[in-house]
Amino acid sequence: MGYFSEIYQGAKSLVIGMRISLDQFLKNFRGDYNTPYPHKTLPIPERYRGHIIFTNDEAGKSLCIACKSCERACPSACILVEGEKKEGEKKKSATLFELNYTTCSLCGACVEVCPTDALTFSKRYNLANTSKAVYAKIDLIKDLENRMQKK
Ligand code: SF4
Ligand code: SF4
């Protein structure tokens, strides 16, 4: 009795396994699982952290007042900020804002500490280059200018 019961159980689990495999196989063909990247991409989750970028006001200007709080808070020393108070303006603004993304741990300390909410995480997930040096000096001021030009 035990012998036939084992054969039955084995055959049953084989059929169940085959059915699951076939189901997954057909779903792949229907495109339920595969995303034909780069032609299509999945929505990036709200909480995803790409490298930091500047936020901006309605006029497209950065909210950064060059206070250097982010530079001091960064545990990896990967932020370099310089700023000045331009003529006719009440606050300082950044004249240089460089991020060394090669050492950034995406900890978020810079975003949290910023008193003006001038920083946020980008949704960039597919950066690629043959040279690491490109990401050692990401110019956030230039990046904001480029984004505003594309709008
Ligand atoms: S996310 Fe963290 S490691 Fe990266 S720049 Fe900001 S403070 Fe530095
Ligand atoms: S990004 Fe924020 S914390 Fe960093 S220098 Fe500018 S205002 Fe200060």
For residue 13, pLDDT beyond 90: yes
Burial of 55 (0-12, 13-18, 19+ CB in 10 A): middle
Q: Which of 1-15, 67-81, 88-102 has the lowest mean pLDDT?
A: 1-15
Identify the band that residue 24 occupies on the pLDDT scale cut at 50, 70 and 90.
confident
- Domain spanning 52-150, CATH class: alpha beta
User: What is the pLDDT, as a whole number, of residue 37?
Assistant: 87
User: What is the pLDDT, as a whole number, of residue 26?
Assistant: 86
Identify the band that residue 2 occupies on the pLDDT scale cut at 50, 70 and 90.
confident
Separation of 116 CA from ligand 2 center, angstroms?
7
Per residue in 108-132, pLDDT (tens digit) is: 999 999 999 999 999 999 999 999 9
Separation of 66 CA from ligand 1 center, angstroms?
16
Q: What predicted TM-score, i.e. pTM, was given to this entire model? A: 0.80
Does any ligand 2 atom lie closer than 6 A to the CB of residue 119?
yes
Atom 8 of ligand 1: nearest residue by CA position: 74
So where are the chain's domains? 1-34, 52-150
